[in-house]
């Protein structure tokens, strides 16, 4: 088996009127932000400010510059607001809701493989994503969002099921297969009469993963080469064409619909593209891949803007995981839950909502109930997350909640779990054999373990972790004979 560090993925309405403000006669989108909300001037994402933040992160000497960049957005914001909700307006309207679109919303979910949190809108100095940056500027954006896990399979299984991957029936391999008995939220949408379409560009998304469940149209980019150690395919042009074809379907004019497109080109191998040259190092070439992908996303965003349903369609953007470039001696992703691997962008452009940034930690585990909520379909009682719609709309403040990141054992990786609350992060190693505490505010590079230095915080975080663990009903995967760290007395 390939060594850990080198191995990679082998293996609108807003309907919320009725839903969120029961008793409110008017749409919450017409209401100003609650007076008690902490609304501040836009957090600067100018490179100069960011550079200063990155400098402050230099207390993590082992971390390369990219790590400081990655964490500095979080660190700056954690420092500013360590334990309470924080909302900052980024648009000209300073957080005041715009006029809402009438009728139900459609939802387009655009996920980007391996997109780190340190994108230009978070202060990264290279102009690697102008179209995403423009969309983020028009969105409600989470500065401290976490993927459900650090690998594609586990992360999307959680996002789509609304439950943690450890709770799901699965094969037990790195590219986990999920049987029909696992319900993914598009199935609920489909049953409710919502048109569901998706297009994908990696062999894992073919039917083995189970992610096709609930989609009326589920298309794959043609001609993909299947390699479970890397991804050499360049797929943005074909993927864009498929997305346009699916979004151009006459059925969608009748609405409501849900569309999901997972773009792959930021995934390694980091292929060079003509006319884009940030350098030869891995991060340079990754940046080039993002710039290339972003050009195609710009075309997709323009297509969406011109569509007849544009004014009643929410666009949500996030990543399935981040990407490491030397932090903690790691490259690529999976296997661990360090910040560069799981801190990701998350933003939603929703008709009627003014742009703002929310600095409270949140997880993609919230997306299933959120997307269902936007489409007016009830969530399942088993969901571990909560709808974000009220805080997106500004009718509720984003309360501090514990974020869980969950990486079940497979034949390729040991189990890892993390709990993030405010500025602190607790990482569980190997079936809770050891819990490590980090202060992301002071130490965004996660280099100083604080179990002994901050015993009170450690006790509180451990208690919270144990409480959450009781609510995660681990089940063993189908294949158990080669699980890493297998111990008969421990959960799978």
Nearer to Zn ion, 123 or 322 (CB): 322
First to last CA, the chain: 21
Candidate ranges 118-126, 212-220, 277-285, 314-322; the one touching Zn ion (CB under 5 A): 314-322
Q: Which of 118, 320, 391, 431 binds Zn ion (CB under 5 A)?
A: 320
Nearer to Zn ion, 266 or 419 (CB): 266
φ/ψ of residue 191, rounded to 5: -65, -30
Nearer to Zn ion, 202 or 409 (CB): 202
Closest contact distance (angstroms) between CB of 152 and Zn ion is 3
Q: Which residues pair with 319 in a beta bridge?
A: 112
Candidate ranges 60-68, 139-147, 312-320, 342-350; the one touching Zn ion (CB under 5 A): 312-320
CB-CB contact of 235 with 222 (8 Å): no
Closest contact distance (angstroms) between CB of 8 and Zn ion is 9
Closest contact distance (angstroms) between CB of 262 and Zn ion is 8
Number of residues in contact with Zn ion under rule CB under 5 A: 3
Place of tokens 């600067």: 44
Candidate ranges 124-132, 212-220, 319-327, 408-416; the one touching Zn ion (CB under 5 A): 319-327
Q: How far is CA 233 from CA 72, 263, 271, 282, 336, in A?
A: 32, 11, 9, 17, 25
Closest contact distance (angstroms) between CB of 132 and Zn ion is 17
Non-local (6+) Cβ contacts of 18 within 8 A are none
DSSP string of 250-300, one letter each residue:
THHHH--EEEEEEE-TTSSS---BTTB-S-SSHHHHHHHHHHHHHHHHHHH
Nearer to Zn ion, 141 or 318 (CB): 318
The residue whose Cβ lies closest to Zn ion is 152
Q: Is 152 in the site for Zn ion (CB under 5 A)?
A: yes
Nearer to Zn ion, 86 or 152 (CB): 152
Candidate ranges 90-98, 113-121, 172-180, 420-428; the one touching Zn ion (CB under 5 A): 113-121
The tokens of 19 are what? 């839903």
Nearer to Zn ion, 187 or 320 (CB): 320
Closest contact distance (angstroms) between CB of 149 and Zn ion is 10
Closest contact distance (angstroms) between CB of 204 and Zn ion is 9
Spatial separation of the C-alpha atoms in residues 301 and 107, rounded to whole Å:
13
Candidate ranges 145-153, 180-188, 227-235, 340-348; the one touching Zn ion (CB under 5 A): 145-153
Crossing angle of helices 130-137/282-306, nearest 10°? Answer: 60
Q: Which of 28, 74, 75, 113 binds Zn ion (CB under 5 A)?
A: 113
Interacting residues with Zn ion (CB under 5 A): 113, 152, 320
């Amino acid at each position: 088996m390939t060594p850990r560090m080198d191995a990679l993925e082998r293996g609108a309405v807003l309907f919320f009127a009725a839903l969120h403000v029961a008793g409110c006669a008017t749409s919450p989108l017409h209401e100003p932000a609650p007076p008690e909300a902490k609304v501040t001037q836009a957090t600067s994402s100018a490179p100069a400010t960011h550079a200063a933040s990155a400098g402050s992160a230099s207390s993590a000497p082992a971390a390369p510059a990219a790590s400081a960049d990655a964490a500095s957005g979080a660190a700056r914001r954690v420092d500013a607001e360590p334990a309470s909700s924080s909302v900052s307006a980024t648009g000209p309207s300073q957080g005041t809701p715009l006029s809402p679109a009438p009728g139900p919303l459609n939802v387009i979910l655009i996920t980007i493989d391996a997109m780190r949190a340190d994108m230009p809108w978070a202060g990264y100095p290279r102009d690697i994503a102008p179209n995403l940056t423009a969309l983020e500027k028009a969105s409600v954006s989470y500065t401290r969002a976490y993927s459900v896990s650090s690998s594609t399979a586990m992360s999307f299984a959680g996002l789509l099921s609304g439950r943690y991957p450890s709770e799901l029936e699965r094969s037990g391999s790195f590219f986990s297969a999920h049987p029909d008995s696992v319900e993914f939220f598009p199935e609920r949408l489909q049953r409710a009469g919502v048109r569901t379409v998706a297009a994908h560009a990696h062999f894992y998304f073919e039917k083995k993963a189970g992610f096709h469940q609930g989609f009326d149209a589920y298309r794959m980019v043609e001609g993909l080469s299947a390699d479970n150690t890397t991804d050499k395919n360049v797929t943005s042009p074909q993927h864009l064409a498929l997305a346009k074809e699916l979004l151009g379907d006459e059925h969608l004019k009748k609405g409501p619909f849900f569309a999901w497109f997972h773009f792959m080109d930021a995934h390694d191998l980091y292929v060079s593209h003509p006319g884009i040259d940030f350098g030869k190092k891995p991060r340079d070439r990754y940046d080039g891949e993002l710039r290339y992908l972003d050009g195609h996303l710009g075309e997709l965003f323009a297509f969406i803007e011109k569509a007849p349903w544009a004014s009643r369609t929410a666009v949500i953007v996030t990543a399935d995981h981040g990407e490491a470039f030397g932090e903690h001696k790691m490259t690529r992703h999976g296997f661990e839950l360090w910040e560069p691997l799981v801190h990701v962008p998350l933003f939603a452009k929703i008709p009627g909502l003014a742009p703002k940034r929310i600095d409270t930690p949140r997880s993609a585990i919230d997306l299933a109930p959120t997307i269902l909520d936007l489409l007016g379909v009830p969530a399942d009682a088993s969901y571990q997350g909560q709808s974000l719609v009220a805080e997106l709309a500004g009718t509720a403040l984003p309360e501090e909640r514990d974020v869980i990141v969950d990486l079940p054992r497979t034949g390729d990786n040991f189990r890892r779990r993390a709990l993030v609350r405010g500025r602190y992060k607790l990482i569980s190693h190997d079936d809770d054999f050891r819990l490590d505490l980090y202060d992301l505010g002071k130490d965004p590079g996660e280099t100083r373990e604080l179990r002994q230095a901050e015993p009170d915080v450690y006790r509180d975080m451990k208690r919270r972790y144990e409480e959450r663990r009781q609510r995660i009903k681990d089940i063993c995967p189908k294949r158990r004979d080669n699980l890493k760290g297998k111990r008969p007395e421990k959960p799978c």
